[in-house]
């Protein structure tokens, strides 16, 4: 398949956005295809061709892929990059998170883990953030993660991060959750509160040992 063809360019651009232009990030080739309404066979074939052209690289044997430096250069040269800065990450407008929203949450969680491990914040503040992280991880494991719950948990996390001195991450989350708020009706967040209460009962120690 022609790597300069419209399908290949769309696939590469979607991969670029789902990984936020990060060569270390990975997503499923099938999630990329799903975002473009491709079936698994077509997505796999297209990814294979792009891998052969050095634009995409294999991350896992189960279909995990990432974009290469050459792939990033090609997307940017074609004017398809847009704004993929962390602050431009989006949850989407649907009631359930789609591939882009899941990747946005995963990207933010990765940044939070790295920052939190270096932060000398009070224990109770770290505990609040860890509870929120666990709640989001449970949502990401769900086949139908609820956007409303994710948004409200991120709102809580953003406030806690700001109080802990992680102002840049707090601003990132604020931009992320307010990007589509004009389209979203504000609703009660009992589900999110119940999930956070559940995770408060779990031990924080083993989780913190996983920080870099």
Q: Which residue has the higher pLDDT, 124 or 46?
A: 46
Average pLDDT over residues 84-91: 57
pLDDT at 102 over 60: yes
Band (pLDDT 50/70/90 cuts) for residue 210 is low
pTM (two decimals): 0.48
Report DSSP letters for 43-92, one per residue. HHHHHHHHHHTTSEEE--TTSEEEE-HHHHHHHHHTT-----SGGG----
Distance between CA atoms of residues 126 and 179, nearest Å: 26
pLDDT tens, 31-84? 998 888 889 999 999 999 999 999 999 999 889 999 999 998 888 887 776 544
- CB atoms closer than 10 angstroms to residue 93: 14
As a whole number of angstroms, the longest Cα–Cα distance in the chain is 55
Band (pLDDT 50/70/90 cuts) for residue 126 is confident
Q: So what's the pLDDT on residue 177?
A: 76
Q: So what's the pLDDT on residue 3?
A: 66
pLDDT at 90 over 90: no
Residues 6+ apart with CB under 8 A from 175: 87, 88
- The DSSP bridge partners found for residue 27 are 65
For residue 8, what are its two tokens? 């290949």
What CA–CA distances, in Å, run from 13 to 4, 119, 165? 12, 35, 34
* Cβ atoms 18, 100 nearer than 8 A: yes
pLDDT tens, 143-193? 888 888 888 998 888 888 888 888 877 887 887 776 554 434 444 445 555
pLDDT tens, 194-208? 555 545 544 444 444
Q: So what's the pLDDT on residue 75?
A: 85
Q: Which domains does the chain have, with CATH numbers?
A: 6-77 (1.10.10.10), 86-208 (no CATH)
Q: Name the H helices within 84-186.
A: 99-118, 123-141, 147-163, 167-178
Type and span of the H or E element at 190 = helix 190-200
Average pLDDT over residues 91-100: 80
Tell me the backbone φ, ψ of residue 78, rounded to 5 degrees.
Answer: -85, -5
């Amino acid at each position: 398949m022609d790597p300069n063809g419209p399908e290949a360019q769309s696939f590469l651009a979607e991969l670029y956005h789902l990984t936020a232009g990060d060569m270390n990030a990975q997503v499923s080739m099938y999630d990329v295809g799903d975002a473009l309404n491709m079936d698994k066979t077509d997505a796999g074939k297209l990814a294979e061709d792009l891998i052969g052209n050095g634009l995409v690289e294999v991350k896992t044997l189960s279909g995990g892929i990432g974009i290469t430096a050459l792939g990033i250069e090609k997307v940017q040269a074609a004017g398809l990059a847009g704004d993929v800065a962390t602050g431009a990450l989006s949850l989407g407008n649907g009631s359930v998170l789609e591939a882009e929203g899941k990747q946005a949450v995963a990207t933010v969680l990765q940044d939070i883990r790295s920052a939190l491990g270096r932060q000398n914040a009070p224990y109770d503040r770290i505990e609040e953030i860890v509870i929120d992280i666990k709640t989001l991880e449970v949502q990401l494991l769900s086949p139908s993660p609820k956007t409303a719950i994710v948004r409200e948990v991120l709102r809580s996390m953003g406030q806690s991060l700001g109080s802990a001195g992680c102002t840049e991450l707090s601003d990132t989350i604020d931009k992320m959750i307010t990007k589509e708020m004009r389209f979203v009706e504000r609703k009660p967040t009992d589900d999110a509160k119940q999930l956070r209460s559940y995770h408060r009962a779990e031990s924080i120690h083993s989780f913190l040992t996983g920080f870099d």
